[in-house]
Amino acid sequence: MLVNVITMFPGFFDGLLGVSIVSRAVQDGALDVELIDLREYGLGRHRKLDDAPFGGGPGMVMMIEPLAEALKPLAGTHRVVFLPAGAPMTQNTLDGWSQLDEITFICGRYEGIDQRVIDHFTDEQVSLGDFVLAGGEVAAAAAIEGIARLLPGVVGNPESTEKESFRDGLLEEPVYTRPSEFEGWEVPEVLLSGNHGAIEAWRKKQRLERTGKVRPDLLKDAEKSDT
Ligand code: SAM
């Protein structure tokens, strides 16, 4: 899969591409990340990318011309712009994206992006969450890592990505490893019982309880999709 990233800060992705799963996915040929430096499309001698907002107001706005030029060769790809004013990025979003051969991520900066870019040069507007970052790079990095682990062969045991939080609309149950007791804190006895039926029942109950406590909204969604 090819991920194109339009960014003013290509160096931001050095760490992401150099370690762990993403690095392995790139080395194995499952993933290719093409970093497109928006500055190269800037206007004039100073490679200008932003201008003051029409109507006044704080901050600067990313201009349409550099983005239009950078996006021209990527017109046939699925173009995603990261914005606080986008739809939330979920596991479903990443599942869908991981099925594509190519995708383009657009990282905003400054006060925002000229709306005409969003209206005419993007296919999807996505938010990382209900908070405001300084740029779209963190969202693009999160998406790349989330996609990489879904690509065939990247995660050793495919069950790892099939049995995890959000797969059945629930959060994952707590997990434990050795030692079975640490400073008096014991692992739930059922996990040491070898009784697979009882372990599975315990896990399901934990998933339901945890989701109800931490993310009741997910339970409501799961109930809605059951009806
Ligand atoms: N003025 C904008 C607003 O109130 O919605 C925020 C602009 S933010 C400082 C600059 C850029 O960071 C945005 O254009 C977007 O690309 C990115 N960004 C910030 N928060 C984000 C979020 N929660 N999800 C995705 N991208 C985000």
Q: Are residues 89 and 170 in the same domain?
A: no
Which of 118, 148, 178 lies at the terminal end of a domain, its last residue?
A: 148
Q: Are residues 10 and 117 in the same domain?
A: yes
The rounded Å distance from CA 8 to ligand 1 centre is: 14
Q: Say if residue 226's pLDDT is above 70.
A: no
The rounded Å distance from CA 88 to ligand 1 centre is: 13
Q: What is the rounded average pLDDT of the residues 64-68?
A: 98
DSSP 105: E
pLDDT at 67: 98
Q: What's the token pair of residue 164? A: 């995890």
Q: Are residues 102 and 75 in the same domain?
A: yes
Helix residue ranges per DSSP H, 35-133:
64-71, 91-98, 115-121
The rounded Å distance from CA 113 to ligand 1 centre is: 9
Q: Say if residue 227's pLDDT is above 70.
A: no
**201 part of a folded domain:** yes
Say which CATH number the domain at 73 has: 3.40.1280.10
**207 part of a folded domain:** yes
Which of 99, 115, 148 lies at the terminal end of a domain, its last residue?
A: 148
Determine if ligand 1 sits within 6 Å of the CB of residue 129.
Answer: yes
Q: Are residues 125 and 23 in the same domain?
A: yes
Q: Say if residue 220's pLDDT is above 90.
A: no
Domain count, the chain: 2
Instruction: Please give the model's pTM, rounded to 2 decimal places.
Output: 0.96
Cα separation, 72 vs 94, in Å, equals 24
Q: Are residues 123 and 181 in the same domain?
A: no
pLDDT at 135: 98
Domain, as residue range, for 212: 163-226
Q: Are residues 211 and 117 in the same domain?
A: no
Residues whose CB is less than 8 angstroms from the CB of residue 158 and which lie 6 or more positions away in sequence, other chains included = none
**158 part of a folded domain:** no
Residues whose CB is less than 8 angstroms from the CB of residue 110 and which lie 6 or more positions away in sequence, other chains included = 50, 59, 60, 61, 62
Q: What's the token pair of residue 205? A: 């109950």
Q: Are residues 124 and 22 in the same domain?
A: yes
Determine if ligand 1 sits within 6 Å of the CB of residue 66.
Answer: no
Average model confidence (pLDDT) across the chain: 96
Determine if ligand 1 sits within 6 Å of the CB of residue 136.
Answer: yes
